[in-house]
Structure 1
Amino acid sequence: MQNIYKIASIACMMAGIFGCTNLEEKPIGVLAPEGLFNSPADVNVAVLGSVGLLATEALYGRQFVSALMLRSDMADIGDRGTPAARQQMNDFNMDDNNGMITVFWPVWYQVISAANAAISGAESIQGSEVQLNPLIAEARFMRAFSYYHLVRNFGAVPYIDYFINNPESIKTISRTAEAEIFGKIIEDLEYAKQWLPDVRPNNIRTRATKGTAASYLSSVHLTLANYPKAYEEAKWVIDNRTSFGYALLPDFQGLFNANTANGLQEHVFAIDFLGLQSGPGNANIDYMASMTGIRGATPSGWSVIVPSMMVFDTWDDRDYRKKVSFDSEILMGTTIRPFSAFVNTQRPHIAKYSRFPGRSQGEMQFSDHNYADFRYAEVLLIAAEALGEISGGNAEAVGYINQVRARARNEAGVMNTFPEDVQPGMGKEAFVNLVMEERRLELAFEFKRWYDIKRRNLGTQVFTGANSLEPHATFSEARDYLMPIPRQELETNPNLAPQNPGY
């Protein structure tokens, strides 16, 4: 296991040296890279700084991933006493000064800044390709990873791919077109795929490998509806899964047990938090279990992010993944009571992060979780969806779905009969719809559903349609597929205008 506390401290140091807290301020790192980097070990520190920043409260500890969950149709506001910024994010009525965005926007640019510093540092020192190119590759992966999240949520954003040693260079920076950003993301991931190792020492899943880069390439191409390339990259990962150490975990519950979460064979890329630890700059602070699970002194169901009853009621009770994903009853004293007895939010709560948080404080804060941003099951689902778009539900495409479903039938070692295998022969539209539903259930509450809604243009259907799981009459396709550029950025630098439509 990585020493996350140490890495988080390095991350905060790198943010101070190389990052800018937001784009309207002068960057602190104004030294030339040759004055900061003297060896590959120095470059590795910068890379670790970029990686470590993901495990902060602003990104995977709460703010960013909460925003992704609230934008989806799988997670609603539970406690309406929660701050307005969360309610606005969920209800599609926020303005360009939303408090969640103003927290996570600058931290993504700190991640990018540390990655750019590592790349420039590697280019400024002496060393062999074998020594330096894998470090550059990991930094380029982190840069691509960051921009992939930014471009999907904000569209055209400022694209910075150089070490900032002159504050004047970014004072008038403008936004880069989405197509150009996606092109640069693909370039970085292809370089990472070429130079990263197949596996990491000690089976670490929080640092990228060839398989990680290829998996994200498959996702990027799927987002761009380049289905042949998406299939090609996913198939390459599947064909080389043994080299990368990838496989489905036998028991679905095991994916969400923080006590045994390190080095899981299904994790393609994970963000690792270390229980009961914190660092400067909100490093290693994780609140997701208490944001989503049953909490309160009773406990009584006080969480912020709680699915609607429709999400729970329409999920087949025979699906073991439903049992893993929800808590629908609680122990109150010595009595087990159903969710109808909850004092505050009388709905089943998300259990993926609260049931087994490992070492944690109070109401499951500062947990031991490894949050999977990508797992092997999603590689299989991408291969199925992409191939389905090309050839419909043929035997190969169906086979990928059935691997995921076969694992879902294993309830702690007892084999069930549900969900049944899919049979070959479905037409393209029907099969792709089936894959999307499988993604919704398999990846429920794992920060993926909003991206699926956006790339498939499902917003009007899932938020205003007759069968909406979480109705939001305020949803607007013209506005809500993008979040607003933070107002303070536009006020400081008018070259970032125009604001995204509707804000």
Structure 2
Amino acid sequence: MKLFKIYTYTTVLAVVLFTSCNKFLDVTPKGEVIPTTLDDYLALMSAPLQIGRTSNNTHFITDEINLPDAYRAGATNYPGPGAIRAYDFEAELYDVSEEDEDWNVAYRTIYVANSVLSGIETNTESNQTKRNQAKGEALVHRAYSYLTLVNEYAKHYSATAETDMGVPLNLKVDINALPVRASVKTVYTQIEKDLLEAADILSEKSAYNYRPNKAGAFGVLARMYLYMGNWAKTAEYAGKALAINNFIYDYNDFKLANETKPQSSAITGYPPSLLNKQHIVLGKYSLKVGSYEYNYLFSDEQFGLFNPIPRDLTLPYEPYKVNDFRETYGSSPFGYSGKTFVGEGRGIKDTNGTYDYNNSGITTQELVLLRAEALARLNQTQSALDDLNMLRKKRIPTLKYVDLTAATPADALNLVLRERRIELAFSGLRLADIKRLNLEGRNISVTHGTKTLPANSPRFVLPIPSKVMSLNPNLIQNPR
């Protein structure tokens, strides 16, 4: 009961922080437990449903998905109208009466982390192990949330990061604050500071994969350095994380438990529970695209990356006749009811599949691809290929597997980027990839139906929620 009250208290305060008025300060919560002990702070950091969710809107503006007109009504019911507005490249995703849960969830997590960090400053208990764990976890969660926010609601890190608008940087518990948008560089500087401090005090292992540990801090650092274009540190910190956890499932060992219903079948050899998935270094989840029945599907371009074997719809579905096991375990030609999707489309298995919505944090496969990309950009072609082929060997049917080769670092980089698109699809990372790769001149546009978002369009940066803008006059909206 005490733990429940702690969760309730912080959730109420966090919601009020962004959606209500300051009159809350005049009310003393009754029947609530105010967290004061190290055990209280550890409890606040142990609620995955409270602080474990990450961005969802970023899925809907990329070239990974397709929303057929026939399925738009279902999409409205499941991911919501904001997702459809993102898919349609609209200027605003939420009006002033609507909530942007991506923004709310991130700042709620930041609020809880700030509460823990503030409380630890005055706590006098002598257990340094608990103190380090609570502080380190709060720092990682805060840093992860800011890295997500700044890549969703701001321009990508670049030579203009010092003057580009980032997001409000709240480092204290103050529900009266009306902060301006810190620069992109300032936000990244704080993220780096938090993560380096956390990595220094956290243990290598944690009881549950949704609780940050040293490997998790290293992993978020590696992602951050990749976004900053610091290839040497990307490789360094991805390597440090992999030195602690390098487990990667071999999909050759998997099997559909029910081959006659691949759309809903469990996968033998792949744990259904987040807690038992050994490849997850830092557990985060998103609501995800989802297409068990009739919502968003693979885009033709995304599905084509599998090099799929043509399927005869008049014949039984044969899940093992594929060129890539990620097709078998990550997609389905059938909705949950068993009906085929329109136009031979493929649904996204975001539960009970390799594109699990629980893969939205840091995974070992992302770490391998982070290091491989950094090595390719550092002209270490063979080392990059070694990482790439190690991963692919666990994804391609053994009888069809052939090592990839590259004559130049540029060729190796292109292979890594292609593999990144396949392996990390639907994890929420593609939007940041589009933004950063377009800064290199790769000219990636996104077409949804009859609408196209051209490369480097300002609408690849999502708008600050209208409700937040109405409550904080110090904020400036992103160009639309």
- TM-score bracket for this pair, using the shorter chain length: 0.7 to 0.9
> Which moved further from structure 2: 12-21 or 321-330?
12-21
Asked if residue 87 in structure 1 is aligned to residue 84 in structure 2, the reply is yes
Look up the SS of the partner of 1:494 in the other structure. Answer: coil
Alignment of 1:263-412 (within 5 A): 263-271=276-284, 288=288, 292-295=290-293, 302-303=294-295, 305-317=296-308, 318-329=323-334, 339=340, 342=341, 346-353=344-351, 370-393=358-381, 395-409=382-396, 411=397
Code of the aligned partner of 2:130: Q
| TM score, norm. by length of structure 1 | 0.76
Tell me the distance in 2 between the aligned counterparts of 1:137 and 1:195. 6
Residue identity (%): 21
Asked if residue 223 in structure 1 is aligned to residue 201 in structure 2, the reply is no
Tell me the distance in 1 between the aligned counterparts of 2:360 and 2:287. 16
Tell me the distance in 2 between the aligned counterparts of 1:7 and 1:396. 48
Asked if residue 143 in structure 1 is aligned to residue 142 in structure 2, the reply is yes
The Cα shift of 1:17 comes to 3.9
Tell me the distance in 2 between the aligned counterparts of 1:482 and 1:87. 16
Code of the aligned partner of 2:443: Q
Count of residues in correspondence between the two structures: 428
Is contact 1:262–1:370 with CA below 8 Å preserved after alignment?
no
Look up the SS of the partner of 2:45 in the other structure. Answer: helix
Name the counterpart of 2:236: 232
Tell me the distance in 1 between the aligned counterparts of 2:430 and 2:15. 30
Name the counterpart of 1:248: 248
Name the counterpart of 1:480: 459
Tell me the distance in 2 between the aligned counterparts of 1:292 and 1:89. 16
Question: CA distance change for structure 1 residues 485 and 438 in 2, over 3 Å: closer, same or farther?
Answer: same
Question: CA distance change for structure 1 residues 250 and 96 in 2, over 3 Å: closer, same or farther?
Answer: closer
Question: CA distance change for structure 1 residues 10 and 453 in 2, over 3 Å: closer, same or farther?
Answer: farther
The Cα shift of 1:198 comes to 0.8
CA displacement 1:90-122 (0-9 Å, x = unmatched): 121232635886233122111110100001111
CA displacement 1:143-186 (0-9 Å, x = unmatched): 0011111000112111101122xx44x1x321111100000001
The Cα shift of 1:126 comes to 0.6
Question: CA distance change for structure 1 residues 491 and 369 in 2, over 3 Å: closer, same or farther?
Answer: closer
Structure 2 segments unaligned to the other structure (5+ residues): 155-165, 255-266, 309-322
**RMSD of aligned alpha carbons:** 3.3
Tell me the distance in 2 between the aligned counterparts of 1:434 and 1:212. 26
Name the counterpart of 2:50: 53
Is contact 1:20–1:106 with CA below 8 Å preserved after alignment?
no
Tell me the distance in 2 between the aligned counterparts of 1:446 and 1:52. 18
CA displacement 1:394-443 (0-9 Å, x = unmatched): x222111111011113x5xxx2323x2123x5323222111110001111
Name the counterpart of 1:279: none
CA displacement 1:235-280 (0-9 Å, x = unmatched): 2223x23xxx4311122756995635423221111137xxxxxxxx
Paired residue for 2:443, among 452, 461, 470? 461
Tell me the distance in 2 between the aligned counterparts of 1:308 and 1:266. 26
Name the counterpart of 2:262: none
Code of the aligned partner of 1:178: V
The Cα shift of 1:15 comes to 1.5
Tell me the distance in 1 between the aligned counterparts of 2:331 and 2:345. 10
> Which moved further from structure 2: 125-134 or 115-124?
125-134
Name the counterpart of 2:408: 427
Look up the SS of the partner of 1:135 in the other structure. Answer: helix
Is contact 1:326–1:349 with CA below 8 Å preserved after alignment?
yes
Asked if residue 441 in structure 1 is aligned to residue 429 in structure 2, the reply is no
Structure 1 segments unaligned to the other structure (5+ residues): 273-285, 296-301, 358-367
Code of the aligned partner of 1:250: D
Paired residue for 1:159, among 154, 169, 188? 169
Tell me the distance in 2 between the aligned counterparts of 1:15 and 1:163. 13
Question: CA distance change for structure 1 residues 255 and 377 in 2, over 3 Å: closer, same or farther?
Answer: farther
CA displacement 1:456-476 (0-9 Å, x = unmatched): 127983326xxx798742446
Tell me the distance in 1 between the aligned counterparts of 2:380 and 2:204. 32
Name the counterpart of 1:452: 433
Question: CA distance change for structure 1 residues 88 and 209 in 2, over 3 Å: closer, same or farther?
Answer: same
| TM score, norm. by length of structure 2 | 0.79
